[in-house]
Chains A and B, each alone.
Chain A
Amino acid sequence: MRHWRWPALAETVKVPCRRPPLRLVMASVAFALAALAGAAAAEPGAAGGQAGRTTPVIRIGYLSQAVERPPGLSTLEVPPEDEGLQGARLAIADNNTTGRFTGQTFALVERVLPVDGDVAAASSSLADDGVGYVVSTLNGAGLDRLLAVAGAGRALVFNAGAPDDRFRRGDCRAGLLHTLPSRAMLADALAQYLIRKNWKRWFLVTGPEEGDALYAAAVRRAAGRFGGRIVAEKTWSEALDIRRTAEAEIPVFTQVADYDILIVADEIGFFGEYLPYRTWQPRPVAGTQGLTPVAWDRNLEQWGARQLQSRFQRQAGRPMTAVDYAAWAAVRSIGEATARTSSADSATVAAYLSGDAFALAGFKGLTLSYRPWDGQLRQPIALVTARAVVSMSPQEGFLHPLTTLDTLGDDRAESECKR
């Protein structure tokens, strides 16, 4: 179904796309590329169907690494192995469709590492391949390794895999942008909704992983910002697989003073799926399970999202995840900035991305842009359950003098990023 054509077309003419006269000054693109000193190699352009013509190729590196998942999780759903990569590939296709008209060609240089793969070596091999941009879906530890070697700032790095707030705060740096929302943004998005519902008394349950503690910290921060109260708190330290005994265990575990909603911090899905409908009191569950704040979800269909979802499904054979979306947004940002600036130079692109003029249509109802203070992509956050979108944050009534999107995560005044 990739290229559906009406059958009658067989007896009619398929008109090929002729390369149009370029409206963008290609000379300046060529110049910028030359100035990149080999950052982009000249390759035969795939577009236009004109043999013999060459188009400078804008090479975007993609870096990911498999992670070991512990056995005995509460969910059977395993994240897809190509999570992130498919999002980047789709955006390359989107960029190249646009590139047909601007004379730009994009290529994805993929480095998908096994669990024990060497991030530093992969990064330098990307540099050897003339890559000016790296889209990373590495986790926090992996991103640390990448930044240690990419620290010279030659390539612009897009973090599409690490939600850790520290990369937007103390560990932020020039040349590092984030398309995945931070944990603070996710927690704020959830908190705004709960405050709007007047569900202000929270029971916080935190899992044993490092990320869980960070998620819980973001929830505490959100409570302070928006007026939630953590009235009970527990840590899940159960090492047993309670799949068969959850009905007995969870009611006992959740016997605490009265609260409005249980917020769970369990990023890998170790025990969180056991909580909904099993709590001692009849209360809803939110956080990493239950009502979940996410950057993207298969259930989004408004604001043209349906088109993106079907393009993705057709290409990948599975629904788009938040990491796919973050990788897609990173590659599309590069495409948008190179088209608008007529430049492939990563410094020019970086300046444009952080400027006021940049805007990315992200199928979430509001324009996406980067925060100049910490490089975070501003974006609405969906609150979803397994089969439905419940709400979108920022919620109505949470005001901001510039854009309501800056009510999610670190605003300029509170940013700890010095770069």
Chain B
Amino acid sequence: MSKTLPPAAALFAGLAGLLTAAAPPRAVAETVIVSNERDNTLSVIDDESLSVTQTVPVGRRPRGITLSADGSRLYVCASDDDRIEIYDTSTMKKTGEIPSGVDPEQFALHPDDRKLYIANENDDVVTVVDTDSRHVIGQIDVGVEPEGMAVSPDGRVVVNTSETTNMVHWIDTASLTLIDNTLVDQRPRYAVFSRDGKRLWVSSEVGGGVSVIDTGSREPIETIRFKIGGISSDRIQPVGIKLTRDGRYAFVALGPANHVAVIDAETYKVLDYILVGRRVWHLALNSDETRLYTTNGVSGDVTAIDVATLKPIKSIRVGRFPWGVVVKP
């Protein structure tokens, strides 16, 4: 066999080089931070080299993580320690702890950058904490196993999903009272508002679909279902959702189906399925939304996806059972 490349292959190699060279230069290196539920650590990934640069020990069973508005602080739900830990993202040193109520799992930060709304999975309440004074402001009774949390873009409404009650609970942030409840499919895991605040997207892990709810009427207007060839419908268990700012895409992590669904956020049609690692749960976009990162619990890795081509670029080994993910600009 000849050692020189056949002409077609050479052409492809040349093209590939050309494409690489033509790709727009990435602005500034960003940092991907992942919580590892079974390792009690955070993995810090450099998004240029796509490799883990640091592993930070944290409280027990870290799950939900979120950044302050300027990205300087990272909040970590240490579920088994019943607290929220705060880390300085420039040093990755712990700077404080906040009371959270029992078993905090997910939380959402108010646009005021102060109030955290925390779902206490074992206690059927949502706890509201002021991150400046580090005091509990209030607790609101919700359904069984509260999980998903989201604050509306205008900051007036916070929603919580309860996994066993199967509802979205709408809470008025001024009075901290329940204003409404919407029944959705089984085991609602995650909720996110559209950028204009008009729609709420809710994933139902056991129901196998994503409900799109009109925030005016608080009624579901669409239920998105998924079908992947060769994968039993039982294994399609939607969890994390990410919406792009331009309103073009919704990405949905499909759990043990090991795929991320790409949805046209206007027509609610499923456009594509991207194969990632095993049991994909949560998602994060980088700041210019050119990359999507997924946490794959069972395979213990993070998949980086190129948003332009909707293709996975690399799998990055992290700790055991990666759960939450954020990208720090």
A8 touches B140 (CB 8 A): no
Query: A396's closest neighbor in chain B, by CB?
Result: B232
Contacts A101-B165, A404-B234 given: A6-B186 contact, CB under 8 Å? no
Pick out which of these stretches binds chain B: A10-18, A52-60, A198-206: A10-18
Residues of A within 8 A of B166 (CB): 98, 336, 339, 361
Considering only residues 17-69 of chain A, those with a C-beta below 8 Å from chain B are: 17-18, 20-21, 23-24
In the assembled complex, B137 has its CB within 8 A of some CB on chain A: yes
Contacts A8-B99, A311-B122, A404-B232 given: A359-B180 contact, CB under 8 Å? no
In the assembled complex, A127 has its CB within 8 A of some CB on chain B: no
Contacts A20-B181, A101-B169 given: A9-B139 contact, CB under 8 Å? yes
- The 0/1 profile, CB within 8 Å of A marked 1, for residues 105-139 of chain B is 00000000000000001111001000000011111
A361 touches B181 (CB 8 A): no
Min CB gap B297→A, angstroms:
10
Residues of B within 8 A of A340 (CB): 183
In the assembled complex, the Cα of A366 lies from the Cα of B179 at a distance in Å of: 32
Contacts A4-B101, A360-B186 given: A100-B141 contact, CB under 8 Å? yes
In the assembled complex, the Cα of A94 lies from the Cα of B122 at a distance in Å of: 12
A8 touches B136 (CB 8 A): yes
Query: B133's closest neighbor in chain A, by CB?
Result: A8
Min CB gap B80→A, angstroms:
10
Query: B100's closest neighbor in chain A, by CB?
Result: A6
In the assembled complex, A403 has its CB within 8 A of some CB on chain B: yes
Residues of A within 8 A of B100 (CB): 6
A304 touches B183 (CB 8 A): no
Considering only residues 190-227 of chain B, those with a C-beta below 8 Å from chain A are: 205-208, 218
Min CB gap A171→B, angstroms:
30
Q: Which of B169, B183, B218 contacts A339 (CB 8 A)?
A: B183
B138 touches A15 (CB 8 A): yes
A20 touches B101 (CB 8 A): no
In the assembled complex, the Cα of A360 lies from the Cα of B138 at a distance in Å of: 32
Query: B167's closest neighbor in chain A, by CB?
Result: A101
In the assembled complex, B76 has its CB within 8 A of some CB on chain A: no
In the assembled complex, the Cα of A16 lies from the Cα of B125 at a distance in Å of: 11
Considering only residues 336-375 of chain A, those with a C-beta below 8 Å from chain B are: 336, 339-340, 359-361, 365-367
Contacts A15-B177, A359-B206, A366-B234 given: A6-B136 contact, CB under 8 Å? yes
In the assembled complex, A5 has its CB within 8 A of some CB on chain B: yes
Considering only residues 256-295 of chain B, those with a C-beta below 8 Å from chain A are: 256
Residues of B within 8 A of A98 (CB): 143-144, 162, 164-167
Q: Which of B135, B181, B232 contacts A101 (CB 8 A)?
A: B181
Q: Which of A23, A307, A339 contacts B180 (CB 8 A)?
A: A23
In the assembled complex, the Cα of A8 lies from the Cα of B139 at a distance in Å of: 12
A17 touches B181 (CB 8 A): no
A5 touches B101 (CB 8 A): yes
B121 touches A307 (CB 8 A): yes
Q: Which of A3, A16, A307 contacts B145 (CB 8 A)?
A: A307
- The 0/1 profile, CB within 8 Å of B marked 1, for residues 82-103 of chain A is 0000000000001001101110
Residues of A within 8 A of B122 (CB): 307, 310-311
B178 touches A18 (CB 8 A): yes
Min CB gap A412→B, angstroms:
18
Residues of A within 8 A of B178 (CB): 17-18, 20, 101
Point out residues on B near A: beta carbons under 8 Å.
82, 99-102, 121-124, 127, 135-141, 143-145, 162-167, 169, 176-183, 185-187, 205-208, 218, 232, 234, 256
Point out residues on A near B: beta carbons under 8 Å.
3-6, 8-9, 12-18, 20-21, 23-24, 94, 97-98, 100-102, 304, 307, 310-311, 332, 336, 339-340, 359-361, 365-367, 403-405
- Given A14-B139, A23-B218, 14 other A-B residues pairs in contact with their CB atoms under 8 A: A4-B82, A6-B101, A12-B137, A13-B137, A13-B176, A17-B177, A20-B181, A98-B144, A98-B162, A101-B165, A304-B145, A304-B163, A304-B187, A365-B234
Instruction: Name 24 interchain pairs, CB-CB below 8 A, sorted by A.
Output: A3-B123, A4-B102, A4-B123, A9-B139, A13-B176, A15-B139, A15-B140, A20-B180, A94-B144, A97-B144, A97-B165, A98-B143, A98-B144, A98-B165, A100-B141, A101-B181, A304-B163, A307-B122, A359-B206, A360-B186, A361-B186, A366-B206, A367-B208, A404-B234
